[in-house]
């Protein structure tokens, strides 16, 4: 297990380097000059050049990239060109809020998606199965911004059950978490149903039932545990997607997360913050995938990493 973990960690470094190259190139290919935005519309050429020199934008692209990689290796992501704050300080302020939102969303998705998938698998081709599949299709297809605005209109404006926007108490988290998790819930429900149907048709399940075991015990102890391996894969991928895809939800609910920070930084051509935010999200995604791989061994004893 240790050798496998070490091997995966070492493999992750080229992936992170690839992310650094891509984000470095993309932010500089985007139209707009950060120095011009900072200097203002009526700034002189000399002022703009001074700002470019202060930001290091007058250096060649290879030199800028080497400085970027060197800073990451030292844990220094630079300073924001907008606020002059350390990028690490900005990320430390906003990223925990996105983690909180993503955890809330994945909790909602698991709480509703797995039971719905199990129920649908136990009653294949029944009205319950059809209802779950239609609900999953709607959940996958529904635009996040539309569902979020509808939830605000009904549960915040009309009923007054939850705050309209912002972050604070647990009540502030409910609507954003449901909005962000609705698509993941649908995907998890479909995957759970598919995996459970496959497992329930295995010989050992029929043998367990033939021995007179209670159906609930057969489903929960034997079938569900073996069906969870592909579900765990989907959950890991969905959690990473929630971190990267929370931008719309954070914008709708004015949630102070890294998604809103990233959008605002892109508009301001704040290169250091954009690079740091994307790198942090990518690294988190890689760590989540590593954890998912290690969880396989605990769910299914047949899986070994020797």
Digit-coded pLDDT (tens) for 88-122: 888 888 888 888 888 888 898 888 888 888 888 88
For residue 220, is it within any domain?
yes
Query: Does 128 lie in the same domain as 54?
Result: no
**Which pLDDT score is estimated for 206?**
67
For residue 120, is it within any domain?
yes
Q: Which of 73, 98, 113 is the last residue of a domain?
A: 73
* Mean pLDDT taken over the chain: 79
**Which pLDDT score is estimated for 222?**
64
Q: Which of 23, 42, 73 is the last residue of a domain?
A: 73
Backbone angle region of 212, left / alpha / beta, with phi > 0 → left and psi within -120 to 50 → alpha: left
For residue 78, is it within any domain?
no
Alpha carbon of residue 74 to chain centroid:
26
Q: How confident is the model at residue 197 (pLDDT cuts 50, 70, 90)?
A: confident
pLDDT digits (tens, 9 = 90+) for 26-75: 877 777 667 776 776 676 777 777 877 777 777 778 888 888 888 888 88
Query: Does 150 lie in the same domain as 8?
Result: no
Rounded mean pLDDT, 173-201: 85
Alpha-carbon dihedral 19, 21, 22, 27, rounded to 10 degrees: 120
Do residues 274 and 266 lie in contact, with contact meaning Cβ atoms separated by under 8 Å? yes
Query: Does 92 lie in the same domain as 64?
Result: no
Do residues 288 and 239 lie in contact, with contact meaning Cβ atoms separated by under 8 Å? yes
For residue 80, is it within any domain?
no
Q: How confident is the model at residue 299 (pLDDT cuts 50, 70, 90)?
A: low
Q: CA-CA distance, 207 to 87, in Å (whole number)?
A: 59
Q: What is the pTM of this model?
A: 0.77
For residue 282, is it within any domain?
yes
Helix (H) or strand (E) run with residue 199 in it: helix 170-200
Q: Which of 12, 38, 73 is the last residue of a domain?
A: 73
Pick from 15, 96, 64: nearest CA to 271? 64
| Helix, coil or strand: residue 86 | strand
Q: Which positions ≥6 away from 285 have C-beta within 8 Å?
A: 240, 243, 244
Query: Does 14 lie in the same domain as 141?
Result: no
Which residue range is the domain that position 268 belongs to?
88-299
Alpha carbon of residue 35 to chain centroid:
32
Do residues 179 and 144 lie in contact, with contact meaning Cβ atoms separated by under 8 Å? yes
Pick from 281, 285, 288, 241: nearest CA to 261? 281
Q: What are phi and psi of 36, to 5 degrees?
A: -65, -40
């Amino acid at each position: 297990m240790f050798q496998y973990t070490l091997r995966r960690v070492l493999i992750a470094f080229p992936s992170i380097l690839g992310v650094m190259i891509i984000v470095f190139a993309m932010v500089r290919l985007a139209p707009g000059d950060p120095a011009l935005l900072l200097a203002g519309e009526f700034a002189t050429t000399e002022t703009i050049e001074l700002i470019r020199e202060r930001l290091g934008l007058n250096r060649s692209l290879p030199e800028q990239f080497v400085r970027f990689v060197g800073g990451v290796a030292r844990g220094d992501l630079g300073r924001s060109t907008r606020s002059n704050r350390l990028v690490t300080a900005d990320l430390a302020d906003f990223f925990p809020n996105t983690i909180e939102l993503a955890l809330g969303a994945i909790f909602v998705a698991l709480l509703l998606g797995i039971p719905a998938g199990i129920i649908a698998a136990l009653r294949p081709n029944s009205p319950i199965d059809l209802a779950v599949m239609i609900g999953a299709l709607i959940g996958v297809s529904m635009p996040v911004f539309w569902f979020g605005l509808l939830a605000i209109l009904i549960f915040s404006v009309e009923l007054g059950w939850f705050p309209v926007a912002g972050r604070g108490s647990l009540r502030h988290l409910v609507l954003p978490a449901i909005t962000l998790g609705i698509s993941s819930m649908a995907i998890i429900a479909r995957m759970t149903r598919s995996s459970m149907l496959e497992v329930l048709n295995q010989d050992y399940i029929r043998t367990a039932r033939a021995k007179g075991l209670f159906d609930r015990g057969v489903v929960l102890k034997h079938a569900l545990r073996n069906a969870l391996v592909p579900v765990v894969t989907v959950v890991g991928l969905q959690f990473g997607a929630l971190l990267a895809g929370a931008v719309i939800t954070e914008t709708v609910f004015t949630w102070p997360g890294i998604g809103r920070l990233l959008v605002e930084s892109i508009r301001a051509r704040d290169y250091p913050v954009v690079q740091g935010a994307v790198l942090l999200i990518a690294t988190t995604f890689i760590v989540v995938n590593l954890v998912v791989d290690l969880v396989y061994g605990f769910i299914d004893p047949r899986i070994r990493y020797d």
